[in-house]
Amino acid sequence: MAQEGKIEASPELQEQIRAILAEEFEVDIEKIQPEAELIDTLSLDSLDMVDVVVLVEQKWGITLVAEDFQGLRTFSDFYNLIATKRANA
C-alpha cells in the first residue's frame, strides 16, 4: 500500500522507467526489479544522479530536487516518486 501522499506507479510507468534506465546505464533490464537497490544496481555516482534527473525532466517534464532522493533506496521508491511528481505537476 502507498504511503500517505505517495502514489504507486502503474505497471506501464514502471516498464517505461525500467527501459529508459537499462538503456541509459547499460544494465540488463532483468536486474531492475522493484526491490533492487537503485544506486547499487545501476552503479550510480553523483554525476550519474544528475543524468537521472535530466532523463526524468526530459521524459516526463517534472522537476526532481535533492530532497526527493532522501530515503530513496529501491527502484519501487523511484517509480513511486515519479508517479507522485507527475500527479502533482
Mean pLDDT by 10 residues, the chain (89 residues): 73 97 96 96 93 93 92 96 94
Question: According to the model, what pLDDT value does residue 62 have?
Answer: 94
pTM: 0.89
Q: Where do the structural domains in the chain lie, given as residue ranges?
A: 11-88
Residue 31 · residue 19 · CB < 8 Å: no
The grid coordinates listed for 69 are 532522493
Report the 10 Å Cβ neighbour count for 26: 9
Question: According to the model, what pLDDT value does residue 89 have?
Answer: 84
Indicate the CATH number for domain 11-88: 1.10.1200.10
Which residues does 89 contact at the CB level (< 8 Å), separation at least 6? 61, 62
Question: According to the model, what pLDDT value does residue 2 have?
Answer: 45
